[in-house]
Structure 1
Amino acid sequence: MFSFSSIATSRQITLRSVMRILLDRRGISRAELARLTGLSKQTMSEVFRDLEMEGWVQMSGRTQGGVGRSAATYEVCADRALVFGADVGGTKIQAAIADMHGVVLSEIVEPTDARGGEHVIAQLARMNQVLAERANLPSERVLVGTIGIPGAYDERSGTLLMVPNIAGLEGSQFAAWLARSVAFEVHVGNDVNMAAKGEQWLGKGRDVDNFVFIALGTGIGMGIINERRVLRGSRGAAGEISTLPIGASAYDGRTFWAGALETMIGSAAIRGRYEGGGGLPGLTVRQIIDRVGDGDRIAIATLDEVARTLAEAILAVSAVVDPERIIMGGSIGARPELLERVQHYLPLCMATPPTCTISQLGSRAGLYGTLANSLDILRKGLFQTPELDVPMLSARSLEAAQ
């Protein structure tokens, strides 16, 4: 991927090594690059000739201070390659393109095409074109795209599963469909997994190797970061905690599709419990939680029960993946009134509970996660040869191979 067919494999490996340093360290001289990589000045000059000819690097300034002449410093042409990310929901699509440093260049939000299926595919392809035009860049520079979908994506079969909110996508070959409409490499992930990836990149998960992101709103889902990697499972369904047998019987046929846990703490369950307890009819979940601060006893009891049940779910999750931190999001999960109660119940049901916090990225976590995933793939694939997927070797070995 992204290789120069006219350049030998060993040189492509060297280019890959140099590019990774340039991506991590902006404004660096050739001499410093040679010192860091162990490459000779001659080899470094040849590498820069290749990179400059293809528009990957540019001069950024000159070194200052110290003894002797100043030296030119170089940086990556960040918009030489772009990534696309889209968080697809049942009602709206958030999409953006970013450069190689992860800087968002353009962003767009549109209602999800209600016709679903191929119409959503066409919508995503069009949004990519619009984003490139708004950034005043050719869409051909978009090399990798990641789509977050509210469902499970089986990478082995390329099949999208468990997508009840978007018509025509259940059982579809979503990635293959989209790949026929765009010029970039397409990847698909569960939307909550992508939100967890976003938290790892820019949110409350930046300093944690093991954490989970729990999204609670209309339904409930979870993304797992285990040893700094997204845990997907065999069918892409890891983290579907809505089906945990907590709060309701797993053998009750009424819970098969929504899941036992979701039938107890999802938005419909909260409204039902509140009205069933004698609360005012017709209120939204937001209004019900707002009434907690006003001293509404039925609203307080309702949220207490939701928090107690969620704490039990966190206990079950902790027994399996042992997260250091729980990051909560979604229209209900982001409410501080719920967090306060979950923090109260956790020490009552487990000896060493993980810390709990609320996402600061809000509804943008999923979008950021798709961009982060695309950036990871882009960086891994830079100058990768089709003959050999070679991990980074030592610079001395790289030079010796030439």
Structure 2
Amino acid sequence: MVVERGARTGRDGSPRLLREINDRAAIEALLREGPLTRAELEDVIGLSKPATATLLNRLEGDGVVRRGELRGGNRGPRAQTWYVNGALAHVAGVSVTPNDVDVVISDITGDSRVEHRSPMPSGDTDAVLSAFGDALTAAAAKVGLRTDELAHVVVGAQGAVDPATGHLGFAPHLPGWEGFDVPGRLGELLGTEVTVENDVNLVALVEMDEGRARDVRDFVLVWLGDGVGSAVVVNRALLRGATGGAGEIDWMHVPDRAGRDTGSDRRGGRFGKLVEPGAIMALARAHGLEAADGEDAIRKAASDPGAREFLTDYARRVATGLAGVVSVLDPELVLLSAGIAQAGGTALAELVAAQLHELVVPRTPVETARISGNPVRAGALRAAIGLARERVFGLSTTAAGVLPASAE
């Protein structure tokens, strides 16, 4: 069940509007702080004891809040706590890669109910959509839900959705997902609202909410993993571009400024090909560094002063790709994310900053993103929760401010 609580006013305007404002303040406090007693809620939202009691009774009657455990010490009666009814809505956050579909379902409070991962077949559109639908259906069934009972589903995918057509572009790594209205088809398949968002944009969203960009208005996040991309945030909103392709730096052509020759076109080549794991291994071999894979090479070099020349060469490549972006946008911060960035840590970030500052005027700091694990899925879930809270409670959230509620 989804309870709609959008802002409404009575004919005279004020009493009903004030109730809505107070209700939202209380709901927001309970979502942020967790279960609170009436007295604790009074302190947070600044209402009187009678007004808070009336508010809680009203929200309980509407099914929005529930009574929790009693709380208290050794002296005096224990106090009743209240919490938001998570069963009001459930949402799903999904990460789609060429290899799998990774799903997490939570209630509207953010309490994760189930995680589910299924392989993604390589094939035509019908095959990949069928696998996607089966994965969501299996995940929802584990918590006794149908997919059409989910309030919102946010899908993080490589590439970008054209806002005019719903087509997924810049996604050669996702065969079977191109050439059709992706949000529209998925919405029909699942029977609910679906938002498809670029995977790196979702990582930027979660960094804004709980990572290193919490207090930053303008920043660029660069994804250094099996794929290469970036997210651009201006004034706390994602910059998408006319076709949804803002931040798609993988195909940007840049010169190879590494000191050692690895056979690349020194005059200019695809940025993604210069910084992806295969290129890292070639650069490591040119420096005489043995490693199991690209992340291993970066991790070893970050902790070994003797491999600093190799790490500096890699930082030169990253900085060369960033230079044009930073020169145009002049952001407050550049964040390096994904496995390669995490492997390099502070050592890589400092070298990229030093190389970048040789190429551009802005003294933009470069740091490693804080959110690790599966940040794409985490960002998708946070976006889905934010969109559901906007719909159910009328709350303004970061996700609701930067992501469209649904595709046209």
Shorter-chain TM range is: 0.7 to 0.9
Find the counterpart in structure 2 of residue 267 from structure 1: 277
* The 10-residue stretch of structure 1 (343-352 or 323-332) with the greater mean CA deviation from structure 2: 343-352
In structure 1, the gaps of 5 or more residues are: 385-390, 392-402
| C-alpha RMSD of matched pairs (Å) | 4.2
Q: For residue 240 of structure 1, report the CA deviation from its aligned partner.
A: 1.0
Find the counterpart in structure 2 of residue 320 from structure 1: 328
Counterpart CA distance in 1 for 2:359 and 2:64 is 55
Equivalent residues of 1:203, 1:359 under 8 A apart:
yes
Counterpart CA distance in 2 for 1:347 and 1:42 is 57
Counterpart CA distance in 2 for 1:73 and 1:280 is 59
The 5 Å alignment of 1:305-344 reads: 305-336=313-344, 338-344=348-354
Equivalent residues of 1:83, 1:100 under 8 A apart:
yes
1:382 paired residue among 389, 392, 398:
392
Equivalent residues of 2:323, 2:360 under 8 A apart:
yes
Q: For residue 133 of structure 1, report the CA deviation from its aligned partner.
A: 3.5
1:133 is the counterpart of 2:141 = yes
Q: Mark the CA change 1:232 to 1:28 in structure 2 (over 3 Å): closer, same or farther.
A: farther
Render the CA deviation track for 1:211-234: whole Å, top value 9, x for unaligned.
Answer: 222111233201123222222222
Count, aligned residues: 374
Equivalent residues of 1:34, 1:41 under 8 A apart:
no
* The 10-residue stretch of structure 1 (350-359 or 167-176) with the greater mean CA deviation from structure 2: 350-359
2:356 paired residue among 346, 350, 365:
346
Q: Which amino acid aligns with 2:293?
A: T
Find the counterpart in structure 2 of residue 235 from structure 1: 243
Q: Mark the CA change 1:41 to 1:198 in structure 2 (over 3 Å): closer, same or farther.
A: same
In structure 2, the gaps of 5 or more residues are: 11-15, 258-263, 395-400, 402-408
Higher relative contact order (CA 8 A, sep 6+): 1
Q: For residue 44 of structure 1, report the CA deviation from its aligned partner.
A: 7.9
Counterpart CA distance in 1 for 2:150 and 2:293 is 41
Q: For residue 363 of structure 1, report the CA deviation from its aligned partner.
A: 4.0
Equivalent residues of 1:63, 1:70 under 8 A apart:
yes
Q: For residue 110 of structure 1, report the CA deviation from its aligned partner.
A: 2.6
1:24 paired residue among 26, 29, 36:
29
Q: Which amino acid aligns with 1:266?
A: E
Render the CA deviation track for 1:330-355: whole Å, top value 9, x for unaligned.
Answer: 23232225334213323433455322
1:366 is the counterpart of 2:363 = no
1:190 is the counterpart of 2:198 = yes
* The 10-residue stretch of structure 1 (93-102 or 344-353) with the greater mean CA deviation from structure 2: 344-353
Counterpart CA distance in 2 for 1:75 and 1:190 is 33
Q: For residue 58 of structure 1, report the CA deviation from its aligned partner.
A: 0.7
1:114 paired residue among 101, 116, 122:
122
* TM-score normalised by length of structure 1: 0.76
Q: Mark the CA change 1:4 to 1:282 in structure 2 (over 3 Å): closer, same or farther.
A: closer
Q: Specify the SS of the correspondent of 2:178.
A: coil
Q: Specify the SS of the correspondent of 2:230.
A: strand
Find the counterpart in structure 1 of residue 102 from structure 2: 94
Fraction of identical pairs, as percent = 24
Find the counterpart in structure 2 of residue 285 from structure 1: 294
* TM-score normalised by length of structure 2: 0.75
Q: For residue 45 of structure 1, report the CA deviation from its aligned partner.
A: 4.7
* The 10-residue stretch of structure 1 (223-232 or 166-175) with the greater mean CA deviation from structure 2: 223-232
